[in-house]
Amino acid sequence: MTTGPILKIEDLRTYFYSRSKQAFNRAVDGVSLALKKGETLGIVGESGSGKSVTALSVMGLVTAEPGIITGNIGLKTNGVQKNLLQDIDDYVKLTRDNARSVAVAKDNPRWQRHVDKVMRGVRGKEISMIFQNPKVSMNPFSSVGRQIREAIMLNTSINNRKEARERALYWLEHVKIDSPRLRYDNNPYGLSGGMCQRVMIAMALSSEPSVLIADEPTTGLDATIQSKIVSLLGELKSTVGVTTLLISHDIDVIKTLSDRVAVMYGGKVLESGPSKEILSAGQHETHPYTAALLASIPTARQIREKSYLQAIKGDVIDTVNLPQGCRFYARCRQVTKQIKMQCKHQEPELREISHNHKVRCWLYFDE
Amino acid sequence: MKMNTTILEVQNLKKYYKPHGGIFSAFTGKENVIPAVDDVSFYIKEKETMGLVGETGCGKTTIGRTVLKLTPATAGKIIFDNTDITHLSAAQFRPLRKQLQMIFQDLDAALNPKMRIKAILKEALKVHRRLSDAEMDRRISELLEMVNLKKSKLSNFPNELSGGEKRRVGIARTLAVGARFIVADEPTSALDVSIQAQVVNLLRDLQKELSLSYLFISYDLRVVELISHKVAVMYLGQIVEMGMAGRIANAPRHPYTAVLWSSLVEKKSNESIKNAGNPNESQWGVFDFERPSTGCRFAPRCPVYHANGHPTICTDPATSPQLRKLDAAHQVRCHFPL
In the sheet that holds A268-274, the strands lie side by side as A127-130, A211-215, A243-247, A40-44, A260-265, A268-274, A357-359, A351-354
Whether B118 and B95 share a structural domain: no
Q: What is the pLDDT of residues B58-110, one digit of tens each?
A: 888 889 999 998 888 889 999 998 889 988 888 888 888 888 999 988 888 88
Could you report the per-residue pLDDT of A41-88, keeping only the tens digit for each?
999 988 778 888 888 888 888 765 556 777 788 888 777 777 887 777
A329-333, B63-67, B136-140, B293-297: the lowest-pLDDT one: B293-297
Distance CA B98, CA B129 (A): 10
Residue B317 and residue B280 in one domain = yes
Same-domain pairing of B187 and B292: yes
- Decide if B106 is inside a domain: no
Which residues, including other chains, have CB under 8 Å from residue B147's CB and lie 6 or more apart? B168, B169, B171, B172, B175, B202, B206
Mean pLDDT check: name the lowest of A260-269, B91-100, B284-293: B284-293
CB A28 within 8 A of CB A14: yes
Q: Cα separations (Å) of A167 from A143, A162, A190, A204?
A: 15, 9, 22, 13
pLDDT for res B269? 41
**What pLDDT shows up at residue B284?**
44
Question: Alpha-carbon distance B261 to B240, whole Å?
Answer: 14
Q: Average pLDDT for residues B223-237, to the nearest whole number? A: 89
- For residues B201 and B81, membership in a common domain is answered with yes
Q: What DSSP string runs through A291-351? A: HHHHHTSPPHHHHHHTPPP-PPPS-PPPSSS--SS-TTGGG-S---TTTHHHHHH-PPPPE
Any chain A CB within 8 A of the CB of B247?
Answer: no
Q: Between B223, B268, B282, which is nearest A298 by CB? A: B223
Domain tally for chain B? 2
Q: Which range (A298-312, B39-53, B136-150, B208-222) has the least confidence?
A: A298-312
Residues of A in contact with B162 (CB under 8 A): 48, 315-316
Of B56, B226, B266, the CB nearest to A222: B56
3-class SS shares of chain B: helix, strand, coil, % to 5: 40, 20, 40
Q: Tell me, what's the pLDDT at B49?
A: 93
**Spatial separation of the C-alpha atoms in residues B196 and A120, rounded to whole Å:** 41
| CA-wise closest residue to B165 among B149, B152, B146 | B149
Q: Are residues B205 and B300 in the same domain?
A: yes
Secondary structure element (H or E) that encloses residue A253, with its range: helix A251-257
What does the alpha-carbon distance between residue B294 and residue A353 come to, in Å, rounded to a whole number? 61
Q: For residue A64, which amino acid is it?
A: A
State how far the Cα of B76 lies from the Cα of B13, in Å rounded to an integer.
Answer: 4
Of A46, A227, A316, which has the smallest distance from its Cβ to B263's Cβ? Answer: A227
Residues B243 and B288 in one domain: yes
Put simply, the answer to whether B192 touches A249 (Cβ < 8 Å) is yes
In a mutational test of the A interface, the residue from B108, B194, B248 whose CB has the highest number of chain A CBs within 10 Å is B194
Q: Which of B165, B201, B284 sits opposite A225 (nearest CB)?
A: B284
Q: How confident is the model over A115-127, as pLDDT tens digits? A: 888 888 888 888 9
Any CB–CB contact under 8 A between B165 and chain A?
A: yes
A301 and chain B: CB distance < 8 Å anywhere? no
d(CA A105, CA B75): 66
Pairwise CB contact (< 8 Å): A178 & B281 = yes
- Non-local (6+) Cβ contacts of B130 within 8 A are none
- Residue B14 three-state SS: strand
Return the pLDDT at B50.
94
Note whether B188 and B309 are same-domain residues.
yes
Q: Give mean pLDDT, residues B178-204.
A: 86
Q: Is A252 on the interface with B (CB under 8 A)?
A: yes
For testing the chain A interface, which of B265, B268, B273 should be mutated: the one with the most A CBs within 10 Å?
B265
Q: Determine the distance in angstroms separating the CA of A72 from the nearest CA of chain B, rounded to an integer.
A: 30
Residue B189 shares a structural domain with residue B173: no
pLDDT of B217: 92
Chain A contact present for B259, CB below 8 A: yes
Q: What is the CATH number of the domain that holds B21?
A: 3.40.50.300
- pLDDT number for residue A193: 79
Q: Mean pLDDT across the stretch A314-326?
A: 79
Quote the pLDDT of residue B41: 92
User: Which residues lie across from A215 on neighbouring strands?
Assistant: A247
Does B266 contact chain A (CB < 8 Å)? yes
Last residue of a domain, one of B179, B203, B220: B179
Question: In Å, how far is A271's CA from the nearest CA of chain B?
Answer: 17
Give the span between the Cα atoms of A139 and A187, in whole angstroms: 8
By the 8 A CB rule, do B331 and B323 touch? yes
Please give the C-alpha separations between residue A129 and each of A134, A138, B115, in angstroms, as whole numbers.
Answer: 11, 13, 38
Domain that holds residue B31: 6-99+180-332
Q: Is the pLDDT of residue A335 over 60?
A: yes
Predicted pLDDT at B270: 39
pLDDT (mean) for B305-328: 83
- What CA dihedral angle connects A240, A246, A248 and A250, to 10 degrees? 50
Q: Where is the domain boundary, B147, B179, B211?
A: B179
My answer on whether B156 and B188 are in the same domain is no
B284 and A192: CB-CB below 8 Å? yes
CB A167 within 8 A of CB A158: yes
Compute the average pLDDT of residues A88-117: 69
pLDDT of B182 strictly over 90: yes
Strands A67-77 and A7-18: antiparallel
Report chain B's mean pLDDT, rounded to a whole number: 82
Task: Nearest by CB to B219, from A223, A303, A304: name it.
Answer: A223
Provide the pLDDT confidence category of residue A162 given band limits of 50, 70 and 90.
very high
Choose one of B128, B147, B179: the last residue of a domain.
Answer: B179
Coil, helix or strand for A159? coil
What is the model's pLDDT at position B11?
92
Question: pLDDT category, B184, cuts 50, 70, 90?
Answer: very high
* pLDDT over threshold 80, residue A238: yes
What is the predicted pLDDT for the residue at A56? 86
Tell me: do B171 and B188 sit in the same domain: no
Q: What is residue B272's predicted lDDT score, i.e. its pLDDT?
A: 37
> Quick check: B192 and A250 CB within 8 A?
no
Give the count of alpha carbons within 13 A of A365, CB side only: 17
So what's the pLDDT on residue A190? 78
What would the pLDDT profile of B6-25 be if each residue is shown by its tens digit?
899 999 999 888 766 566 65
Q: What is the percentage of chain B residues whose pLDDT exceeds 90? A: 21
Q: Which amino acid is at B234?
A: M
Q: In whole angstroms, what is the distance from residue B243 CA to residue B331 CA?
A: 6
Buried (b) or exposed (e) across B13-34, using 16+ Cβ within 10 A? bbbbeeeeeeeeeeeeeeeeeb
- Whether residues B10 and B155 fall in one domain: no
The answer to whether residues A222 and A5 touch, using CB atoms and an 8 Å cutoff, is no
Cα angle A248, A251, A255; round to 5:
100
The distance from CA B258 to its chain's CA centroid, rounded to whole angstroms, is 19
Interface size A-B, in CB pairs within 8 Å, comes to: 107
- Note whether A179 contacts B282, CB cutoff 8 Å: yes
Smallest Cβ distance to A226: which of B163, B194, B265?
A: B265
- Percentage of residues in chain B with pLDDT exceeding 70? 86
Residues 6 or more apart whose CB falls under 8 angstroms from that of A114 comprise A87, A88, A90, A91
- What per-residue confidence (pLDDT) applies to B197? 86
Dist CA B326 CA B22 (whole Å) = 45
Mean pLDDT confidence for B196-214: 90
CB contact under 8 A, A225 and B196: no
pLDDT higher than 70, residue A133: yes
Given a cut of 60, whether residue A234 has pLDDT beyond it is yes
Amino acid at B168: R
First to last CA, chain B: 27
B50 assigned to some structural domain:
yes
Residue B51 and residue B230 in contact, taking contact as beta carbons nearer than 8 Å:
yes
Cα separation, A284 vs A279, whole angstroms? 9
Q: Are B202 and B168 in contact (CB under 8 A)?
A: yes
- The answer to whether the CB atoms of B284 and A228 lie below 8 A apart is yes
The residue in chain A having the minimum alpha-carbon distance to the alpha carbon of residue B221 is A223
Q: Return residues 184-243 of B near A (CB < 8 Å).
A: 192-198, 200-201, 204, 219-223, 225-226
Angle at B234 between CA B230 and CA B235, to 5 degrees: 160
% pLDDT > 70, chain A:
91
